[in-house]
Amino acid sequence: MADAKGGIPRSKMTAAERRTRSQLAQVLSQRAVIRGTLLVRKRKCGKANCRCARGQGHQSLFLVISENGRTRQFFVPKDWEARVRQWVADYHHARDLLEDVSRIYWNKLRHRRD
């Protein structure tokens, strides 16, 4: 049973819940996480005689984030692309695990069962 502050002893968790929480703790303690959506955009570099001035532009990767109702974009340099993609993936992994834990407690609330 939950204590007055809502804490739950591990002994009261199902094996599945403990497993999910362990995975979440592992991601958060060992991985970098970053929230945002990766977007490829074509941009012109501004040099008048570059091929991009006539053509489609250079492909650039941006991380688009919304925060406090504002949208911002961060340019992702080529040599940062692999790690930023991994950070975004790890963020989603952590979020999915947290959602799995939350789902357990939605059900406890719905069924008034601790």
Determine contact, residues 44/57, Cβ cutoff 8 Å. Answer: yes
What is the residue type of 26? Q
Size of the site for Zn ion (CB under 5 A): 3
**Least distance CB 14 / Zn ion (angstroms):** 57
Task: List the structure tokens of 114.
Answer: 């601790």
- What's the rounded Cα separation, in Å, for the pair 42 and 63? 14
- C-alpha dihedral sign at 95, 20, 83, 52: negative
Query: Which range of residues in 23-31, 42-50, 59-67, 93-101 is near Zn ion by CB under 5 A?
Result: 42-50
Query: Which range of residues in 29-37, 52-60, 71-79, 106-114 is near Zn ion by CB under 5 A?
Result: 52-60
User: Which position among 39, 50, 89, 101 is part of the footprint of Zn ion (CB under 5 A)?
Assistant: 50
33 binds Zn ion (CB under 5 A): no
Residues at the interface with Zn ion (CB under 5 A):
45, 50, 52
